[in-house]
Amino acid sequence: MPGEKKIEQQLERKYYVADPQFRRSMGVLLGPPIVEGNKVEVLLNGDQIFPSMLAAIRSAERTITFETYIYWSETIGKEFSDALIERARAGVKVHVMLDFIGSMKMDLASLDAMKAAGIELQRYHKPVWWKLTRLNNRTHRKLLVIDGKVGFTGGVGIADQWRGNAQTKEQWRDTHFRVEGPVVGQIQAVFTDNWTKSTGAVLDGDAYFPALTPKGDHAAQMFASSPTGGSESMHLMYLMAITAAKHTIHLSSAYFVPDELTVKALADAARRGVKVRIITPGTDIDSEVVRSASRELWGDLLRAGVQLAEYQPTMFHVKALVVDDLMVSVGSTNFDNRSFSLNDEANLNIIDPVFAKQQVAVFNDDWAKTRKITLAAWEARPWHTRMMGRLASLIGSQL
Catalytic residues, by residue number, are: 140, 142, 147, 317, 319, 324
Q: Residues 98, 184: contact at Cβ < 8 Å?
A: no
Q: What is the DSSP string of 202-216?
A: ---STTTS------S
Q: What angle do CA 62, 64, 69 make, to 5 degrees?
A: 175
DSSP 54: H
Residue 134 DSSP label: G
With beta carbons less than 8 A apart as the criterion, state whether 341 and 6 touch.
yes
Q: What is the DSSP string of 311-355?
A: E-SS-B--EEEEETTTEEEEES--EEHIIIIISBEEEEEEE-HHH
CB 151 within 8 A of CB 144: yes
Phi, psi of 386 (to 5 degrees): -60, -45
**Pairing state between β 120-124 and 93-99:** parallel
From the list 312, 284, 315, the residue with the least C-alpha distance to 373 is: 312
* Residue 191 to residue 144: CA distance in whole angstroms: 9
With CA atoms as reference, report the closest residue to 133 among 342, 392, 337, 335: 342
Q: Which of 385, 213, 248 is nearest to 326 (CA)?
A: 248
Distance CA 229, CA 219 (A): 25
